[in-house]
Amino acid sequence: MKRFVLFFIVLLVMVPVFASDAISLSDYLASSEYSWFLTGKTEYSIQAKMVSAPTDVYNPLEDVSYTAEPNGEDVILKGTSGEEWVTPLEKVMKTYTLPDGSAIESTDFIPDEYIEIRTISELGTNLAMFIPVDTVVIVETAWGDVLTANNPLVVHGEGDYLVCRPAEDGSPDLSDVWVVNGATFPDTYDMTNAD
């Protein structure tokens, strides 16, 4: 009970500090000493499943909860650190393969059972920018989520990364930016061009 009370007190103290210290994506980009670097996903294995009933999952690396529906479209992914999130089947089929390299089909899924899948390595297809762990940035994603880079309630390593695709002119496409936790970024994205 003492631990719960202590955690609750720490949480009450931290939340106002976190809320007042957070900056917007545009403010961070305007003031950052870091620059965008060319990167892309490396090849690694994760797990995926579809569900037979509505299923809630929690991603501690983002401090975000998701609900997967048994609609033939929602796929729960379990990442390299055990974090879970929900992604549409169409995106899974474009981004991942089966371990033997063959394409993923909806028929590969047995409800409520994880299958192993592999990322399609996409070196040089993304841009990333480092955010030091002491800087909290609020990112509104293209799909409607609000992500918090370096949320003080989550472990980040040295800091999180903003990731996006390059626009046709090679500049960052800021219409679709997401956050990758700094604890997993070096294991899942190419660091060759990082500052």
Q: Which residue has the tokens 């063959």?
A: 102
Question: Could you tell me what percentage of the chain is helix, strand and coil, using 3-state DSSP and rounding each to the nearest 5?
Answer: 20, 35, 45
Q: What are phi and psi of 123, to 5 degrees?
A: -60, 140
Percent of the chain with pLDDT over 70: 90
Average pLDDT over residues 174-179: 90
Distance of alpha carbon 64 from alpha carbon 82, whole angstroms: 14
* β pairing state of 37-39 and 126-132: antiparallel
SS3 at position 5: helix
Q: What is the pLDDT of residue 9?
A: 36
pLDDT single digits (tens) 72-98: 999 999 999 899 999 999 999 999 999
DSSP-derived pairing of the beta strands 137-140 and 126-132? unpaired
Has residue 2 got a pLDDT over 90?
no
Confidence of residue 4 (pLDDT cuts 50, 70, 90): very low
pLDDT digits (tens, 9 = 90+) for 15-57: 434 456 899 999 999 999 999 999 999 999 999 999 999 999 9
Contact between residue 99 and residue 45 where contact means Cβ atoms under 8 Å apart: yes
Of 121-130, 147-156, 161-170, the one with minimum mean pLDDT is: 147-156
Which of 189, 195, 76 shows the shortest CA–CA distance to 129?
195
Cα–Cα distance measured from residue 55 to residue 36, given in angstroms and rounded to the nearest whole number: 36
Q: Which of 25, 61, 32 is nearest to 175 (CA)?
A: 25
**Residue-wise over 22-37: b if at least 16 C-beta within 10 A, else e?**
bbebeebbeebebebb
Q: Which amino acid is at 26?
A: S
